[in-house]
Amino acid sequence: MLHLLEYWAARLALFGVDLLPPAAASRWAGWLGSLWWTADRPRRRVAISNILRAGVAGDPAEARAIGRAATRHMGTVLVESLKSALVLDDPDRVRVRIPDDVQAVLEDPDQGLIVVSGHFGNWELAGQWLSRYKPVAGISRPMNNPRVQELALSRRPRHGFRMIPKYDPDPGRFIKLLGDGEILALLVDQHARQGLDVPFFGHPAKTHTTAAMLHLVTRAPMCFATCRRAAPMTFDLTLSPLIERQRSGDRSADVEAILLALNGLLEEAIRRDPDQYLWGHRRWR
C-alpha cells in the first residue's frame, strides 16, 4: 500500500511539473513535500531524531521546523532535476566556484577525477553540470519502490551524467573509468553496512570507503562538491580544492583521515543550510 501511495504521489507531482511554469512547479512540489512530511510519521521521527543528534537544532520544535523545510526542499529538488535543462542552459542559473587546481584537472582530457558529495542541495544537478567537461558516472542504488524508480528514470534528463548500478559485479569498473579520464561522482553519507565507523556530527556512522580507497590506490585527484539551492531554479555550485593524502603505510589510518575530511566538509555545508539536507534516511544505526 505504501509503495502505491508513493507512486501516485509521484504521479501527482509530475502532473504539476508538466502543467505549471518552473517557479510555480517548484512551489507545487514544496507543498507536496509538506504534505508528505505530515503523512509519513516513521520518516518524520527519523528526521527529527537525526536533526537533534546532529546538534543543528536546539529543541524538538526547531527540529520539526527544519525537518519540514527540508522535506519541502527535497520536493523542489525533484522538480528542478526534471527541469534541469532550463538551469543548465542558462549561465545565470548556476554560479560556479572552482579552484584552479580542480579546474586544471577538469580541462585535462586524460585525467580522471573523484567528486564526492552528500545528500545536500541538488547533488544530481552538480554531476549534470560537470558533464560539460567530461563524462560523469554516479552510483545508484535501486529504489525501494520499483514503480517510482521506473517513473523517475523515464523522465529525468541526464546531460551526459550516467548511473552505474551499485551492485554491478565488475570490481574494476571505477578504476577503468578514472583511467579513461572520466569523473566518478560518489555520495559519502549513504549507510555502509560493511563500512568504516567514522564520526559524522560527532557520532560514529558506517561510511563507505570507496572514494578514499580509490584515491589511495589510483592516485586520482579528488575534491568535494556542494550544489546549494540559492533561489528557485538557481544554484551555487562549489568545489573544494583538491583533497590529497600521501600514503603513510597505514592504509586504515589513511582511509579514516580522508573520510573524516569529507564528512567535515559535508557537515560545514549542512550547518549553513540544514534545511537543504536529506534528514529522513537512517544515517546512524
123: CB partners within 8 A, 6+ apart: 117, 187, 225, 227
- For residue 157, the model assigns a pLDDT of 54
Q: What is the pLDDT of residue 273?
A: 98
C-alpha pair distances (Å), 233 with each of 34, 86, 124, 226, 274 = 19, 8, 14, 15, 19
Query: Among all chains, which residue has been given the C-alpha cell 526547531?
Result: 62
pLDDT of residue 2: 67
Read off the pTM.
0.90
Domain boundaries, the chain: 2-276
DSSP character at residue 20: S
Listed as ranges, residues in the chain with pLDDT below 70 are: 1-3, 13, 16-17, 141-144, 148-149, 151-159, 167-171
Q: Is 266 strand, coil or helix?
A: helix
The pLDDT, as a whole number, for residue 110 is 95
- C-alpha distances in angstroms, 245 versus 44, 92, 184, 214? 38, 35, 18, 12
- The pLDDT value given to residue 90: 86
How confident is the model at residue 99, as a pLDDT? Answer: 98
Chain segment 227-276, per-residue pLDDT in tens? 999 988 899 999 999 999 999 999 999 999 999 999 999 999 999 999 99
Residue 45: what pLDDT?
A: 96
